[in-house]
Amino acid sequence: MNNEETIAHARERVVESVAKNMHLYGVTPSIGRIYGTLYFENEPMTLDELKEELHMSKTSMSTGVRTLIDLNMVEKVWKKGERKDLYKIKADWYQNFIDLFCVQWRKGTQMNMEALTKSLSEFEKVLEEEPSEAIAEQVRKDIEKITYAINYYHWLNQVVNLFESKEIFKLTNKNENP
């Protein structure tokens, strides 16, 4: 096996591994492969180049790249005298992780919080109407559970803040060598 082949294989291994774990970012392996390809390619790439490299349709490249742009993992760049759009990676993996983590959990937290507070106030209203003791007992238990959940989401929000504020970097040594 010559050098070029060795290099290609070594790259492919990494790209494939990254792609396989990309589901943690809510992204399919195919899109992960786009990311990996852009990571190793030193120059920004066009949709056609990606299509060529990955043997997939241009449509898929288009939507895939857009997904990555939405995730803030890729950006469009402009080059003089080039008609095609060029895309390059945004290779701050630390920031990517934080962005993703925060967006995902913030969103989940918020949705659940809305449901929880709404239901909580309904439960409280039921209690105020002096229902039968059986019902009151039941509702009290439900309120307890909802309160637990609300507290949990408050905590989760604190965790998210820890990342969003970059405070997490003070607690870990970001550039430590292996």
Q: How far is the CB of 132 from a second copy (least distance, A)?
A: 8
45 - beta bridge partners?
A: 87
Interface with DNA includes 84 (CB under 7 A)?
yes
Alpha-helical segments (H) within 92-174: 93-128, 133-164, 168-171
Answer yes or no: are the C-beta atoms of 88 and 45 closer than 8 Å: yes
CB atoms under 10 Å from CB of 152, counted, come to: 13
Interface with DNA includes 47 (CB under 7 A)?
yes
Answer yes or no: are the C-beta atoms of 10 and 36 closer than 8 Å: no
Please give the residue ranges that form the binding site for a second copy (CB under 8 A): 3-4, 6-7, 9-11, 13-14, 16-18, 20-21, 24, 39-40, 42, 91, 93-94, 97, 104-105, 108, 111-112, 114-116, 118-119, 122-123, 125-126, 129, 131, 135, 138-139, 141-142, 145-146, 148-152, 154-156, 158-159, 162, 168, 171-178
Query: CB under 5 to 8 A by kind: which of a second copy, DNA, none does 108 bind?
Result: a second copy
| Widest distance between CA atoms in the chain | 83
Query: CB under 5 to 8 A by kind: which of DNA, a second copy, none does 156 bind?
Result: a second copy
